Structure 1
């Protein structure tokens, strides 16, 4: 299997495993966190979606204010029944569609067996609950009241008199807590004595809508044509608003005072068409943690008051819990407004997590860790923003699962790169660090074709340079001075070569052997070698002019360039090897460097290099030669300048030389000598050819004369 295929499969496997782990049962305790975060973000970003006054459900709160206000102060709720009946009747007369009780009063004072005087307390207060029971019975006759019960091993039921008064219109108040004990969903029904019974919220919403609830065999609810969504069977995911005043809340003490003074207008203004839920709203009793826990606000906000006979009690700090009555009120609102939260099932959650994890793994594979982390952060921020917008339309896209899956995939992929995938890259970086420029190493590593250990054939350009008269220079200088001179010269030339993508194969005394096109692929290796040759000449001129080391010794160099197939790779023994290049192209580059000595030039290239380098350079054809060790003739060219840097005088010299060379090959030696002679004073190759042409003009060669010069020197 190819390394690239293996890496792709590993990255895909990392993404899938991380995504599967994020949606597995092990991650269930934190799965609901997505709902909590989205509820808070929607509240912070979009604020309140609707005016609380438009809420279908309202709450009548037995609150701290009621406990501190006469006649309830110091009295148990068991004694409140008459006043509860008074307020119930007032709200229904004000136009409320239905009233439900989230508070259960399981006993009656009339049933008390506590001794009092010569009898029992219950006997002494016989008829105490009469007004309350009449209010319940009257409301039940119109189908406008529902009492609550708590199911369990020991059910909590209303007192027998209440059950009779409401004609058994009693519905369960049980809620549904996730494994982290947070309420995010509400059951839709329970099976009691073999019959499916809707919960309090469903019963209240169905009576307000005038439509009976319909349950299918899987427990899914349809109410007035609305199919209630629910990821957990037989539950509805609650769509909580943020803040503390999303459900209009009325203090029971204030409503009781309002009912006593018979302010019917107040009850019509605030309760007409509403679903009224009676419940406790206290600091410590019946408090529940819900998906609204990060967006609860400071409790105490209340609807406009009817009287000034009591003082409202306002919480001073924000709390993460809400009173249980608000859970049922929210459910009623969701059912009537048809905006229960839609949660994707396991497969969509897995696919979303896998997609985000795959993107994170790809970023970790393609970029450096810091850049990959920044890209992952941006992706998560964008994803959360999109999920927040979707949640504004009641669609709860997962954010915790993709976050965990992508973060794990990011870390795992970085670890895989470091431990396994990049091990070969680090080995290559370490191997080439001493003889390759950093940017060349990076390009080699990013190349689709890395060098094969042991050697491979590539089309390359070989660069060979030498210092003119180095032996004489070495004789005149001290060893330390020579070392300093050569170090500065070789360092400067190496920098130029590497800046154009080449690498220095070796130093042979004063000679430099460099290769372009390996180990990294370089389709412009010939052009880059030519540019490097011109820049080396410029750099040496600057050293001769400005360097203190070159003050007493001015250097001149000769450069040969040739392109062709070469074997590149690691050569040597089993214990020691070197990355190098071998082929006839290398030998020919060396011969071309030596040809400069004969022609008096600085840079000579083969016709192969000239053809590959393109149109960006000014070349002059010097001659056709045979070099030592080769029988095949080749044309050689002198590199003069970049196309844009040619001086007019050089153009004239080139034209005269080209005319002379054409006459030379046509055996028109006199005319060739004339053409060469026009530039002989300023051009060494022209001077050389002018002398040769004059000699042959005076002594014409035989018919077998060959216009190809054989160079015997290296």
Structure 2
């Protein structure tokens, strides 16, 4: 059974849409899947800012930053020797009311373990007890469950020094710091649990959030629950991070300032800044930096909370890395868990459904509309969809972004290609075959209606354009038939291109003459303006041909153009078997007479008063005369289209003003004053010279020979 064209096209559209969606939801596009989260994190930040004030953040960061490395007494000292001061700050923070403290830094060894020779013994022997204050601080915090040291699972694992592990009661207060990286090395998800010898161990972030909320996590095969919050997870054992944008979302304190504050004994500051907070201690510098889904929304980092002792540090706002310090990943995970706003991703089947819907819509647009129109509408829909996705992500709901948009673009391109290769093949053949005989828009109308053209027409307001080559017979005598054909074809092709670029329709060629109509077959409310613009551009195009065309070499071609607006009968005229789309009315005859009138006035473009009234002030019109043309008793005001108003020079303005004044005096019978107005321009302006002669003749013959209306009896 044969499949109809419409059924074939419908099946092709559906197949293209499904294939496009399947491609971009497949594992091959996994990197693009992560790009949706990155883009939405940036768009949300730019569009809405951050939902929370920094002061309300459950997690805060104590940064061992560049300022700390440069401050006394740490400058030049290895981090291993800082433990006593870290213990001092840890105690002050917990005394200030912090709920719990987690270390995103692992001290694998202690200076007390050093075997470097020093005098008669080793450095370790000479520094015995160096870590005592640090270990005591850890032990005190561990007794109340308020400290968690970090470790890193791996082969081999990275563990704190033995004394530190003992101080925090071994695994009771040790949690992994491992992160989860996508295939493109971007951190978008964070582990909730990790496997240790077949047992699920809570990550550092989950442990800190659980201790702060007082709710033990429930770890099951299908996910993790913290109190009444079931943590959404698209990858088993992880949560999708919901990063805020900028640099102020996680309150950050410089370790150097807190150490000075602890020495000062400012307990009020620690209570004011850390009471009820979850504190993470980690390095913030050039090391341990990661690309995350926040990579397009980062800002310059720095300690941005009120200082205790040290002066305010100026943070450069013009420099921001695309990476962030690893401690902020853990802090963000803690905030997401406590606030219960981890990002909720769509499942892969749901993502496929959304992508398929967008691809189907794009394919339908490409099938029904022109490619440019379809692309413009799809771009608008993509913007609306992106805005919707951004708004939903402001509430932690993650709509897929890259997959639907990419599928839509592919479906649009594929369907356009299908139309070109298959669906529109017959249409293009018909258009190409008949474009030489019918108006292009008439062909489009016929194809759209699926009906053959018929005899008949309608009356419409149009503007008729009539042009001719000046002295064509003289030119023909100077050229061989082949040269004349080359010149004529190039001239007619150029003029036709200009006319059609202004939505005109070339009705016919009569030798070197061109008859065109504006306002049919397609409605054009500005048909007079379009005809005037086309006339000026035809004049300019002919000037270019005279300079550059080899067919015009040695011959300067001039043209005359007549334009007239009025009611006309437009449609298909001819016999039952053969007809043309054309225009018939007195408006055509008047346009032809106006074209011929140019030879009497030495002008290029003459238009009737009806065209001037419709075209308006965009153009500089010179009222030439009032005439009677051959075959018509009714007088007609005619105007020269001198140019575009905005492009006139001062001398041209003066010429037109002088001519208008002379014409007014002429019609009023004030012949001497008319002569004074026409005389200055008569040497360089043919219409002024003609009127100067008419005025002189009238003065010589007396008022009986004066007639303000000129009769043109020649075509």
Which band: TM-score by shorter chain? Answer: 0.5 to 0.7
* Deviation (angstroms), 1:208: 0.2
1:159 to 148, 158, 161: 161
SS of equivalent to 2:63: strand
Q: Distance in 2 between matches of 1:290 and 1:12?
A: 37
Q: Is contact 2:253-2:303 (8 Å) kept?
A: no
2:105 matches 1:128: no
Instruction: Report what 1:33 is aligned to.
Output: 35
Compared CA separation, residues 313 and 414, structure 1 to 2 (3 A): closer
- CA distance 1:40–1:301, change in 2 (3 Å): farther
Q: 1:496 to 1:536 in 2, by over 3 A?
A: farther
Per-residue deviation, 1:544: 11
Deviations 1:623-660 (A, max 9, x none): xxxxxxxxxxxxxxxxxxxxxxxxxxxxxxxxxxxxxx
Residues 479-538 of structure 1 deviation map (CA, whole Å, 9 limit, x = unaligned): x9xxxxx9869998999997878545659xxxx95499xxxxxxxxxxxxxxx9xx8576
Return the match for 1:230 from 196, 212, 233. Answer: 233
Runs of at least 5 residues in structure 1 that lack an aligned partner in the other structure = 452-457, 464-479, 481-485, 517-531, 550-714
Measured at CA, do residues 313 and 257 of structure 1 come closer, stay the same or move farther in structure 2, by a change above 3 Å?
farther
SS in 1 for 2:84: helix
**Structure 2 gaps, min length 5:** 458-475, 477-507, 523-568, 598-715
Q: CA RMSD, aligned part only?
A: 3.0
Instruction: Give the Cα–Cα distance (whole angstroms) in 2 for the partners of residues 112 and 311 of structure 1.
Output: 36
Give me the whole-angstrom Cα distance separating, in 2, the residues matched to 1:279 and 1:116.
Answer: 31
Asked if structure 1 preserves the Cα contact closer than 8 Å seen for 2:355 and 2:407, the reply is yes
Pick from 248, 258, 262 the counterpart of residue 259 of structure 1: 262
2 CA distance for matches of 1:442 and 1:416? 20
Map residues 284-295 of structure 1 onto 2, 5 A cutoff: 284-295=286-297
Q: Distance in 1 between matches of 2:198 and 2:456?
A: 92
- DSSP-derived class of the 2:22 partner: helix
SS in 1 for 2:387: helix
1:211-222 paired onto structure 2 within 5 Å: 211-218=215-222, 220-222=223-225
Please show how residues 310-321 of structure 1 align to structure 2 within 5 Å: 317-321=319-323
Write out aligned runs for 1:400-479 (5 A). Answer: 400-447=402-449, 449=450
C-alpha separation between the residues in 1 aligned to 2:594 and 2:509? 16
The match for 2:21 is: 19
The counterpart of 1:335, out of the listed 334, 337, 341, is: 337
Q: 1:544 to 1:299 in 2, by over 3 A?
A: closer
Q: Deviations over 1:576-610 (max 9, x none)?
A: xxxxxxxxxxxxxxxxxxxxxxxxxxxxxxxxxxx
Please state if 1:189 is matched with 2:190.
Answer: no
1:73-84 maps to which residues of 2 (within 5 A)?
73-84=75-86
What is the CA–CA distance in structure 1 between the aligned matches of 2:588 and 2:179, rounded to whole Å?
A: 87
1:174 aligns with 178
Contact 1:435 1:505 in 2 (8 A): no
Q: Where does residue 274 of structure 1 map in the other structure?
A: 277
- Which of the numbers 190, 202, 205 marks the counterpart of 2:206? 202
Distance of 1:287 and 1:109 partners within structure 2:
26
Q: Who is 2:248 aligned against? A: 245
Cα distance in structure 2, aligned partners of 1:487 and 1:210: 92
Asked if the contact 2:456/2:573 (under 8 Å) is kept, the reply is: no
Residues 69, 310 of structure 1: 8 Å contact kept: no
Distance 1:446 1:325 in 2: 64
SS at match of 1:12: helix
Residue 386 (structure 2) aligned to one of 384, 387, 393: 384
1:362 is aligned to 2:367 = no
Q: Distance in 2 between matches of 1:501 and 1:537?
A: 9
What is the CA-CA distance between 1:378 and the residue it aligns to? 1.0
Counterpart for residue 558 of structure 1: none
Task: Check conservation: 1:211, 1:224, Cα contact below 8 A.
Answer: yes
1:100–1:503 CA distance, 2 compared to 1 (3 A) = same
Give the distance between the partners of 2:246 and 2:520, measured in 1 at CA: 69
Contact 2:455–2:573 (CA<8 Å) still a contact in 1?
A: no
Equivalent residue number for residue 545 of structure 2: none
Partner of 1:303: 305
- Partner secondary structure for residue 106 of structure 1: coil
**Could you tell me how far apart the structure 2 residues matched to 1:314 and 1:547 are?**
72
2:658 aligns to what? none
Distance in 2 of aligned mates of 1:407 and 1:116: 70
d(CA) in 1 for partners of 2:380, 2:274:
48
Would you say the 8 A contact 2:437–2:580 is kept in 1?
no
Output the CA distance in 1 between the equivalents of 2:239 and 2:273: 28
Structure 1 residue 268, shift from structure 2 partner: 0.2
Q: Secondary structure of the equivalent of 1:27?
A: helix
Report Cα offsets for 1:32-76 as digits up to 9, x if no partner. Answer: 111111111111111121110110000011111111111111111
Q: Go from structure 1 to structure 2 and tell me whether the alpha carbon gap of 1:513 and 1:394 turns closer, same or farther (over 3 Å shift).
A: same
SS of aligned partner of 2:397: coil
Aligned residue number for residue 628 of structure 2: none
Equivalent-residue separation in structure 2 for 1:388 and 1:110 (angstroms): 54
Helix, strand or coil for the counterpart of 1:80? helix
* Residues 504 and 13 (structure 1), Cα distance of their counterparts in 2 relative to 1, 3 Å cut: farther
CA deviations 1:146-202 (Å, max 9, x no partner) are 000011111100011111111121000000111110001101001112221000000
Aligned-pair CA distance for 1:439: 2.3
Report if the CA contact (8 A) 2:254-2:303 is conserved: no
The alpha-carbon deviation at position 261 of structure 1 amounts to 1.4
SS in 2 for 1:71: coil
Give the Cα separation in 2 of the matches to 1:491 and 1:70.
91
TM-score under structure 2 length normalisation: 0.65
Displacement of 1:433: 2.2
Structure number with larger C-alpha Rg: 1
Once structures 1 and 2 are overlaid, which stretch shifts more, 299-308 or 259-268?
A: 299-308
Q: Quick check: 2:301–2:315 contact (8 Å CA) kept in 1?
A: no
Matching of residue 55 in structure 1 with residue 57 in structure 2: yes
Q: How much does 1:106 deviate?
A: 0.6
How far apart are residue 365 of structure 1 and its match? 1.7
**TM value normalised by structure 1:** 0.65
1:355 Cα shift? Answer: 1.3
Alignment of 1:660-679 (within 5 A): none
3-state SS in 2 of match to 1:221: strand
